């Protein structure tokens, strides 16, 4: 496992601006001007698949994913939320929580798909502190 974790960018670094963290996982905000509010929930231990976790760990992780989705919906008022867990490029368990707007550059394609239009959607400006406060309210204090 040491060889895998030493090559894993999510083991080696935070993966983005950490908003909330407990020993099992962290919530980060992705720095992407085209998709404001894009967050990831990253499992701390280097595992590849959801079924590598115990059932109670899976449930806990999904509670965090759903809390992030709820906070992002409340603060950013997107037209849609995309939830995704791929791991094809980075085989370390993580979930993407991506707010989408009808006028974002890729809609209705996935954010990794073909660009459909130029420009950025008109969305509320939400700073990291506000997003963190919403996560703490939903999940409790970080540890």
Quick one: pLDDT at residue 5?
A: 61
Whether pLDDT at 2 is above 80? no
H-helix or E-strand spanning residue 138: helix 128-139
> What's the pLDDT band for 119 if we cut at 50, 70, 90?
confident
Weakest-pLDDT range from 4-8, 41-45, 118-122, 135-139:
4-8
Intra-chain end-to-end CA distance of the chain, in Å: 26
Query: What pLDDT score was predicted for residue 4?
Result: 58
Structure tokens at 21: 């963290």
Given CA atoms 125, 130, 131, 134 in this order, what sign does their dihedral have? negative
**What domains lie within the chain, and their CATH numbers?**
2-139 (3.30.428.10)
Q: Which long-range contacts (CB under 8 A, 24 or more apart) does 76-84 make?
A: 76/36, 76/37, 76/123, 76/124, 76/126, 77/123, 77/124, 78/37, 78/123, 79/107, 82/110, 82/111, 84/110
Query: Phi first, then psi: what are they for 28, rounded to 5°?
Result: -120, 155
Give the residue, 12 or 5, on which the prediction is more confident.
12
Give the pLDDT of residue 25: 97
- pLDDT by residue (tens digit) across 64-74? 999 999 999 99
The Cα 66–Cα 97 span in angstroms is 9
């Amino acid at each position: 496992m040491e060889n895998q974790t030493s090559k894993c960018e999510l083991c080696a670094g935070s993966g983005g601006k950490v908003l909330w963290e407990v020993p099992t996982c962290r919530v980060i905000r992705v720095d992407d001007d085209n998709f404001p509010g894009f967050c990831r929930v990253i499992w701390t231990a280097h595992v590849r698949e959801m079924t590598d976790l115990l059932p109670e760990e899976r449930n806990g992780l999904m509670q965090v994913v759903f809390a992030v989705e709820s906070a992002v919906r409340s603060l950013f008022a997107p037209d849609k939320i995309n939830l995704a867990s791929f791991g094809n490029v980075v085989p370390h368990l993580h979930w993407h929580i991506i707010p989408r707007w009808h006028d974002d550059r890729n809609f209705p394609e996935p954010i990794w798909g073909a660009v459909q239009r130029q420009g950025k959607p008109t969305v509320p400006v939400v700073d990291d502190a506000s997003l963190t406060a919403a996560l703490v309210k939903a999940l409790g204090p970080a540890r």
